[in-house]
Structure formats: C-alpha cells, structure tokens
Chain A
C-alpha cells in the first residue's frame, strides 16, 4: 500500500516538474513582453532598462533556474504588469472563479439530473425529445455566442438581470462571495448558466442513459413484480445505482468548469482567474500565465492522485495491476 502511494507521489512530482519545463519554455518563446509594457514614448535606454528589470536579458535556461528556485520557496514570480506576486494575484481572483464554477455545477445537477431522469423514463414522449434536442444545442453552440445572446435577451431586451460584473459581495468565513447577497446572486445567474450549459447537457445524457439501462435490469423487474411502488423504484433503487457514474463525472468536470470559465468570464466581465489569464496572455504577462498553468497542473495532478489512492484502497486489484505493470 505505502509503496504504491510513494510511487504515485513520485510520478506526480515528475509530471509537475515536466510540465513546468514545457509551460515555462512554451510561454517564454512567444512574443516580446517589453513592447507591451513600456510607454511608446520610451527611448532605447528606457527599453533596455525595462528588459533588465524584468530579467529578460538573461538566457532562458537561467530564467528557468531562477523560476525553479523561486518556486521551491513558494514564489512563482512577480507579474510584469502589476508588479505583485503572480501567486497572490491568482489567489485573489480565485474565489470569484470558484463560486462561478460551483454555481454552474449546482445548476448542472439541479437542472440536468431531473430532466435526464424524465427523458429516461419517458423516452418516446415529445417533451423528452425536446429535452434531448436541447441538450444537443447545449453541446454544440459556442459558449461566447450563447453568452452574448443571453445578455441580449435577459439584460438588454427584458432587463431582468445585470449584463456584466460581479455585483455586491459579502464576507462568508472571511471570503468575499457574490452568493451571499441578492445583488451578487442576480449577477452570477447569467454567467453561471452560460458556463453550466454544457454540463447540464452532459448530466441529462448521463442520467438518461443510466435510467434507461437500469429500467430494464432484473432488479427493477423483480421489485416491480414484488409490488414496490414506481416512485420507490425510481428514487431509491434506480437513482442510487445511476448516481455513481453521474457524480464521478460531475466531480471530474468541476476541474474543467474552472478551466472553461475563461470564455464566460471574458464575456460577462467576471473578475475571476480566467479573465486574469486571458489578460495576462494578451499582454504577455508571462509570470502570471506560468503561475496559472502550474496551479492548474498541480490541481489536476492532486485530484488524480487522490482518486488513484482512493481506488487502490477500495479495490485491491488496482494496486496489484499497478505492481504487475
């Protein structure tokens, strides 16, 4: 057991290290940040001073070693344009993204699962077909277009919801969140729905497939024959079984919600880390891009590590196979 965990841990560290090389060199060969930063009025001496100040006059491998040295001390470098530690900037923008991703996930579950259940139970019904057609749209329409349409409809035409921004926040356990105020909630509705659309479709399809499969299983037939009520069959027996894959997939999708929030945050001017990343990419704020990608890598590596370890505890065969390989 411990050997397995140690080996997985080593693998994880290796992956993080490898990614740091790819990310750092990848980001640092694109473009020239100096011209994005200095005032156009700057003369040659100013430009050279800026290059030195940013450390861009050093060879790239030296920059990488400096980055590694800093990273070992928990410092992922200072943002070129804000002059503040990149890590601090990202952590500052993280709550806004997390609450957006969390709200979107909730929407996917609250809207997607009941709709999927309905269309799974009555697959030939017109409403079910409508739901399925809708879920195809959810998969295939581009997020930015849907986002703009939602703004046009709900904010401009109907005037029900605000178009952009985060609104008032209130402090919950020391973290500022929009979810705690009414104004904040109205602001998060549209971006969260926009971000959730794809996941809602996913939840509908997963649930529907699960329900349809389960309904023809022997245990359902047996329960029916025993005279168990339909309600109890669906909500206790069927749901319990199909929820396992749905919850697993939704949990994994949470990571991609954070990653995909980039587009939504840009359209709705949502001050999260996705918007920070996009701005950083456009302005070649390399330290922020590198720090963001490294945090994401770490995030996914940790999730995978935890999942693997949990599996190995739950299912000894995973461990055996791993040793055999």
Chain B
C-alpha cells in the first residue's frame, strides 16, 4: 500500500505541476487573471505531495519492503538503520525523487513567502519552476519509477554499494542536491525576470537567499565529499580532478560568481544581463554535472554508470531547459539595460574582475572534464589530471586572490587605490615574509610556494574590513564575507602545506617491525581478523609515536563486504593539531609481510576546516539578509497599520 500511495502522490504532484505551468503561462497574457490565482496554491500543494511521496519511499526503505524493486536492488535486511535510510537516495531513482521533492518544496516556499516581486514575475518564476520539475516527474513516472513492485518479493536485498555505507556518504548526496536545487530556483527566477523584463535590484534580493542557500550546501557538500574521498578511498589524496568531483565544483564556481554578481545588482543596480546569464549558467552546470555523473558517459572512480537510455533522458531535459533559457537570454538580454555605470577601481570593478576569473576557471575545468570525451570521438583515449588543471587554474586563481584581498576595502562606484594603500602594503609584507620564510626553511615547488604566500596575505587582508569598525554593530553580511574569505585563505594554506610537505612511506612490514614516517615512529603490532554487521576484515594494529611521545593505537582495515561483494580499505587517521597520520593496510605477501602505506600530512585538516569556514560565512550572510528582510517587512507592516489608523 505504501508504494502505491507514494506513486499516487507523485502522479498528483506532477499534475499540479502541469496546472502550475499552464496557469503561469496563461496568466502572462493580458486579461487572463482567472487561472493566475491557482499558481501559488498549486505550487504549495505540489510541494506537500512530493514530500509525501518521498516520505513513502523512506518508509519502504526503513521497513526493507522487498516487494519493491528499488528496495530489493539497493537495500538489505542486515544493514544498519542509517544506511537503510540513506539507501533511499543512494541510487538513481531515489536520488531523482529527492531532487524533485526538494525542488517542489522550494517552489512551495516561494509561493507562500515571496511577496516583494511583481505578481506576474512570481507567476512566471513558478511556471518556469514547474516546467523544470515536469521533466523530472516525467523521468520518474515513465522511465525510472522508484515504486515499481517485483512480480514476487525478493528473498533478500542486494545491499548498498559498500563505498556508500559511510556516514559522510549518507549525507553528502542530499547536501549537494539541496545546492543543485537551490540553483534551479535561481534559474527559475532568472527566467521569470527575463520573461517579464523585470531584472531589478528587487529581483536580485529575492533570488539572493536561494543562491546563498544553494552555495552553502554546495560548499559543505564539496568539503564533505573531498574529506570522504580522502579517508575512504585510501589513496591519501583530497582532490583528484575526477569528473564527478568536477561535476560539483563547476556549479560551485558559477554559484560563487552569481552570488557576487547578484550582490552588485541588489546594492547598485548594475550587472543585470551578467547576473541573469550566471543564473542560467549555474543551473546549467548542475544539470551538466548530473548528466555526466548519471549517464556513465565518463569513466570515474565513482561507479555510478547507468544505462544510456537514462543518459539520453537527462540529455533531452538539458537540451530543453538550458537551450531554451539560453535562447530566451539571447533574445531578451538586449532589452535588459545594463544599469548603473561604475569606475574600474571600485567595489563593482573588483567584483566584475573576480566574476570573470571565476568564469575562466569554470571554463578550464569544463574543458578539462570534457576533453577526454572529445578525443574519444576521434578514438583517442586520454585522461586529463592535475598537470593540466593545477597550472591552468592557477593562472586565473592567483590574480583573483589578489583582487579578493583588495576588493572588500574599496567603495562602491568610484574609489582610488591610494586610499587603501597602507593596509594593503601590510598584507603584502606578510605575504612576502611567508614567501621568504618558507623558502629559507624548506623550499617547495612553485605552486605550493605561491599558495603559502597568497594564503597568509589573503588571511590578513580578509580581516582588514573589520579594521576601525565597531565589531558589535557590524552587519552579519560583512561578518559573513570576512569569514568566507578567511576560509579560502585557511583552505589554501592547508592545500599548500599538504602538497609541499607530505611524507609518504610504502613498506612491506612484518609484525613487530617499526617504521619512520616524518616525525612518527610506527610499529606494526599485529594483524587480526575482525567482523562487522555485514563485512569481515583484516585489521592492522599499529602503535604510533609522535617524536618519541606516548604511543597511540591506530587500526586500518582491509574490509570485505558481502552484500554486494566488495573490498574496501578503511584507512586509519590520527589527527593532531598540526596534521594527520594516515595509514592504509594492504595485502599480505607470501612471505608473511603486510603491505602498509603511511603518510604524514602537515596541516592537511585546514583544507576542510577552511571549507567549513566558507560555508559558515555564507550562513552568516544568509541570516543577516533574512533578518534584514524580516525587519523591513515588519517596518512596512507598521507603516501600513499607521496609515490605516490615520486614514
């Protein structure tokens, strides 16, 4: 019954999306206001129904209802509860249902809360939202029904990919999805504003919380995904320029540019066409990313390969949405006046520069991700990795960081560098001192060296906007900017340190042997078999001493899951304030020695700590904006009340 209920709710939600689209489309024509009143209620109810449908799927997974095909294919009665739950979205159909659910709920929120924009713009926005949603509903209902029953219930489920049986991965996909869906809302706003030609600061303010929210989730998702890849894959790296990683990085880059551009539009009524363009591009990147990941068209360490039929479905959606939006943009952008002018040396100027740099990096990543596809069309197989991405990205990243340090100190519209000379010289000196210090102590390669210099310089510069201001009266949005920029500096420091000063050791060790890696002495005490709820493993017991200090035990495992069958290596991490010891247990060789891989990675944790800071900055900015909106709304309500009393 639950499965049928879920399917029925999904069909109803889809039909409401049709109503929402038709109502919105008809309402845009003069004198057709009757259907227009249906748009907001349709969006609200659609959100509730989609949520009910997803709730039904969750219930089926927690009960391990093996008469449902999706549950039988992706779950197992012996699985821990949290992974039963995450199994609901740890697969193709479930994740698509999650997508459409979050999207419908976002539509419901817009319908219930958004009152600032002209009603027609809201209706056009909700119609665009329904249009995007319908593609996903069609996908679910006609091609990959998550509620399909088996002819007879399975005896036992196939289980969840063991690589996904990890708390990080239980939370990582929904986090990214919230980000992608937030960008779909920004996209709908952009389309709505283009249709009604209402590209105004009010539009930017209405869109901004969604972009900010999406950006926070994307930041957290990427940070968590990177840390997961680092400890779970057992390769010791934190970023591989893998197509799947790029699939989430590209929308993040576009969203970062969009966020800054929307701020300019909101504050200064400039960059209208550019903001719209980025709104379209950011969502395009989410869709392109989803397509690349889900179609199995690119080879990746993440085994998501799905049949080409599904790939073509997403491709068709992509063609309709993005192609349609870009055509609309090309037709309408000329009619959107550029807005206020500004000098090159100004806050706007710096933001435009960073926008262009972000877009250039986005282009570099996109080209690198798609290049193997291009050469494969000519039967040449290549893989593009760090040797391309790192230097090519750095060309644009370095000037961007420099402008990032200066921009927040500049005034809107027109400024001169002489006014902010002194603090900037201070930041530059710190940067230079770092450069000299690192070179004198232990010279690394060029990129890490640049990384160190920029990290400290930017770190100091990002705190400069706090100078001379009352910290208690400082708006939350400014705090958000300061913390987010500081987060970039902190991450950068971690990356530079990890790539410059990591020490690696690969040994074949007998039980009882001691190895040295960096400042650590590691002794292999034993290797023993252990068993978990759905796996067995060989577990190494290592005693690790930091510079002759107290020994701490770490236990890397080589695990074998049995449903479905898969080998994984559970690396062991020992975190100190100044870095991490990373241990991986490999196979036993014939003479009884164990393969051990050990790393000492100084300050590696700063990479992810920085990511959390960036997201925190976004959160503060979002809270600040929401609080401002609330204040403005209550003030307006009070004025209206007064007027009514007087009138």
Partners in one complex: no
A: which residues have CB within 8 A of B?
none
